Chains A and B, each alone.
Chain A
Amino acid sequence: MSDDRPRDPGRSTQWLAAVTLIAFVATLVTGYAVNALSGRLRDDTGQSLVKLEFAGWSYSSDKVLRAWDERGLLPTAIRAQKVDFFFAMSYGALALAAALLVWRARRGSRTGRVLAGLVALGAVAALCDEVENLRMWAILHGRGAADHVLPSMAAALKFALIAVAGVSAALALLLKRSTPADTSRPPS
């Protein structure tokens, strides 16, 4: 490659954009699939995946599973659960990429570091989700039906962390940056 040829501008930025967009699209796609499959369960039986997630506290998992089984919807629930593994991976990756974006956009500022850390909690939420998914997988396959507390706790923690990460991402977008550097134009 000759030296006078222009190098791709901000190659790492471009790759970060690609990774973020891929994670974003994957989150949308897997979220759409989980929601549609879970919607079938909810519409046909009144029992959703979320109800099974919280079966340790409020609902009877037997009641939920029986309702699905009677309508021949257990395979649909298992399918939804399978996609949920990928959904958690996707939004976990998205949270990490978003945290990196926040950190880069607010490089050097304390607020930036804090916000990036909070946004990265989305990845911790994804880990909780995967733990919960493993337990749910076992329950759906008729194993470990007695242990509903772990998935319920993991689900509660997950939702809390997602809320924190979401609010932090919104703040990172809305709060004016303190450093006045204009990064829209490359340095001369």
Chain B
Amino acid sequence: MGTAPAVEVMRRTMYLVGTIKYGLVFCALILIVPLSAIEGLPMHGVTGNLFVDLNGWGVFWASMFLVAVSWSVMLTEGLIVNGAAAPRNTGAKGYRSFRSLAKTPGDRLPTWAEAFFSVPITAPQLAFFTALAVPGLVLMVRHSTAAHAWPAAVAGILGAYVVMLLLCLPAALSAPDDPPLRDPIARWVWEALKGGRLGRAAGRLTEIAARPADALGLQFLVDDVAGEGGRKRLFPAHVFALTTTILLAVLCVVLAVVFFPERPSARFIAPVVFLWVSAMLFIWVFGALNFHLRRFHVSPLLVVAGVIVLGYGWTDTDHWYKVHPAPPRTSAALTPVDVAAGGRPRNLVVVASAGGGISAGVWTTVALEQMVSARPTLAREIRVLSTISGGSVGGAFYIDGLRRDARYMGTGTLTPSTLSTIREKSAVSSLSAVAYGLAFRDLTRLLTGGVYTPHRDRGDLLERDWERIAAGDVGVTVVRGPVDEDHPLLLSDMSDAIRLGRIPAPLFGATVMETGRRVMITPVDFGDPAPWRGRTLREFLAAPATDVTLWTAARLSATFAFVSPASRAELKEGKDYKPMDTGGGRLHLIDGGYYDNFGVTSAVDWLRSVLEVRAAELDPRLTFTRVALVELRAFRREDVVKAKPAAGYAAAMFGPMLGLAAIRDGSAAERDDIDVARFVETWNNRFKQAREPICLGHFVFEPGPSEPPPLSWQLSREETRRIQASWSGQGAIGDPARWTGSIRERWSELEGFLNGACGKGRP
């Protein structure tokens, strides 16, 4: 640049930024996403646990693919910068050799940057892009469970380098004077292998590859005179891009087959690897689009969006949840009164469990384990579990676990290990299934505009994983069991056990994406629709003789944003599934937390149905005198006064969106508090005036102040320990004296209430 003034420096720098803008975004992601492993940094609760507790194999694969992602950015951006450095006149070639770059720098990019970022790759360039992976590598090794994590990471990096050398080989041998990789080791390898049969084969490959490029009118990729005997050949760097893309496609297929979550080999790989593979796939596809579309000044983002919108519309691609025909009824429909009358309890306990990913699931099972251990009759007193999102997953594990305890189902006495088994199963990571589904199923589906539509998506894989965990055995770790394809556990299959009072009735909350209304997924038949309650799934689908499995219900309730896809109903007909067009079958269901993240609304709906009958003494089976609404919240509800004020610019530019997002939590919290208080007060007054010995109480169990637990489907060992510790000291199962302060106080109130002292909640 020499005498170039600051303006010239700025002009060239801005041109560089414009050229590699997508690469900069990818680099930022490579750096920042692994940083979320540090507690307290943004996104820790969502992606942080992808990078912790990896075993030796996990560190090896994760390191290999992390470096490969970084190098993918280096190579794709290298080709783009090389193309950008080429002259712009018509017919100009899309590649400049290393000699050309060195001798005659262009006038658009900073000179140092043209050589530094362009293909062929030099040693400093390789060092820089490898350094981008260092934060991720350090964090993965530091948080690994393996004794020899550093050797595993180094082996992973070396493995990635060897693969890159192999990928470069055809290009390097076909053009020994201009290999795509120029670091000292690579140059030594090229020198050792040059010439001979391998070189001729590589030369032939570049000539063969030139034919389709020539035929497609991509002359800018073809070197007209450099081939043997003056034959045309593809520029070596683009041969390299071609071989890499082909290998990446093969690699994706191999990984997708070998590490399918239901294969035993899946335990050798970490979920984060799937994230890196999908990132690589996206980087290469997007890089190719960017390289070619730059010539026409077309945004690759626009093209990707166009492919998705048009492709999905044309192929009618969507995500689905499976609806089954309900089995023939052997008894009458399960009404809310049947549920309340199950076991004729003196106390009616309704548990509302809030959402919050796997943390909410574990908080639910920890709470139920502790409370039922302290008061065994509570297992039968809890007649309803009204759950949302992660709370639904915990609730599903609880119900499934009770069903698997043959002693309990027979005599009503719990086997000692049942509750701890339920808790341990609920803490098992399901992130691998989601990450696999995202990388190998749904991202490819998205990028192909739905032309490639695999049988199972990430939502389906997630619910199958939960089912396998539930069916598994607990030892040192939880060994997953098989999925029962022939006899799936439908919600209506649990009706008899609910009616008997052995298990509570689930009310899984979901939200209709298009209308914002809620849906209760439950085996309970509420009877005629009423304006004061939400619709059940059967009412929503306008298909009374249908049902879903326990795990589908939990998944629909826990359709956490982007982790599981919003999905539509498809009904089983014979062996196939057909899209449902009746009722709300064409609408999508999403997480129940969008409407009410605390599960209180459905609980109140059910309670009202029962209390109306109890107050009018219409059913002699209803003999309860105490009604406790117990809320389990995995996240401490903070004082709104302490809310962090938004910056002025954020309020000016995004105020309405920020407000809408805040309303989701704020209005639900406030509305629930008001509704519950009003409900409890109204019914207490009503029973008091009628001189009925019945009273209602409301009890909330939430952890004390600490780091917020994660929202994703994986907990680190430390986080699992912390969730348990926020309820009680170590080993204090069922011993309220050793529970933490606020929990102990709430429990004392609840137990006093259930034992007859109509205290808290009674006006």
Query: Which residues of A pack against B, CB within 8 Å?
Result: 1, 5-11, 13-15, 17-18, 21-22, 25-26, 29, 32-33, 36-37, 40, 43-44, 71-72, 75-76, 79-80, 83, 173-174, 176-177, 180-186
Contact = CB atoms under 8 A, between A and B. Distances in A.
Nearest to A44: B642
Main secondary structure of the interface of A (DSSP, over half): helix
Contact of B2 (A8, A83, A184): A184
B2 A9 contact: no
A173 B6 contact: yes
Contact of B40 (A18, A29, A40): A40
A1 B644 contact: no
Contact of A10 (B3, B112, B123, B707): B112
A183 B41 contact: no
B191 A184 contact: no
Contacts of B42: 36
A120 B177 CA distance: 40
List the 3 closest A-B pairs by CB distance, nearest first: A182-B2, A18-B124, A9-B102
B191 A33 contact: no
A6 B123 CA distance: 15
Main secondary structure of the interface of B (DSSP, over half): helix
Interface in B1-28: 1-6, 9, 27
Nearest to B705: A72
A14 to B, nearest CB: 4
Contact of B115 (A1, A10, A33, A176): A10
13 contacts: A6-B98, A9-B102, A14-B115, A14-B116, A21-B128, A43-B644, A79-B39, A180-B3, A182-B3, A183-B1, A184-B1, A184-B4, A186-B102
Nearest to A41: B40
A36 B40 contact: yes
Given A8-B182, A14-B122, A79-B38, A183 B2 contact: yes
B116 A72 contact: no
A177 B187 CA distance: 38
Given A25-B31, A79-B39, A18 B116 contact: yes
Given A14-B115, A184-B1, A184-B4, A8 B40 contact: no
Nearest to A170: B6
Nearest to A76: B40
B2 A17 contact: no
Contacts of A79: 38-40
A15 B187 CA distance: 18
* B2, B42, B191 interface centre (most CB from chain A within 10 Å): B2
A181 B6 CA distance: 16
A7 B123 CA distance: 12
Given A9-B115, A10-B112, A185-B105, A1 B191 contact: yes
A75 B4 CA distance: 50
A51 to B, nearest CB: 18
A96 B102 CA distance: 27
Given A9-B115, A37-B40, A22 B127 contact: yes
Contacts of B5: 176
A8 B128 contact: no
B477 interface: no
Contacts of A37: 38, 40-41
A6 B102 contact: yes
Nearest to B3: A180
B106 to A, nearest CB: 10
B39 A18 contact: no
Interface string B103-137: 10100000111011000001111011001100100
Contacts of B40: 36-37, 40, 76, 79-80
B639 to A, nearest CB: 12
A180 B2 contact: yes
Interface string B484-518: 00000000000000000000000000000000000
Given A6-B99, A40-B40, A71-B705, A17 B124 contact: yes
Nearest to B35: A33
* B41, B99, B115, B131 interface centre (most CB from chain A within 10 Å): B41
B485 to A, nearest CB: 46
B285 interface: no
A129 to B, nearest CB: 20
Nearest to B43: A36
A160 B3 CA distance: 31
Contacts of A5: 177
Contact of A29 (B39, B123, B135, B706): B135
B32 interface: yes
Contacts of B4: 184
Interface string B634-655: 0000000010100000000000
B54 interface: no
A18 B35 contact: no
A5 B179 CA distance: 11
A13 B644 contact: no
B124 A15 contact: yes
B101 interface: yes
Contact of B131 (A22, A83, A174): A22
Given A7-B102, A14-B122, A29-B31, 13 more contacts: A8-B182, A13-B112, A14-B116, A18-B127, A22-B128, A29-B32, A32-B32, A36-B40, A37-B38, A43-B644, A71-B705, A176-B5, A186-B102
A40 B191 CA distance: 54
Nearest to B107: A184
B1 A17 contact: no
A33 B112 contact: no
B549 to A, nearest CB: 40
Contacts of B98: 6
B101 to A, nearest CB: 7
A25 B131 contact: yes
Interface in B178-192: 182, 187, 191
Contacts of B112: 10, 13-14, 17
Contacts of B103: 6, 186
A25 to B, nearest CB: 7
Nearest to B115: A9
Nearest to B28: A28
A64 to B, nearest CB: 17
Contacts of B111: 184
Contacts of B707: 72, 76
A18 B125 contact: yes
A72 B706 contact: yes
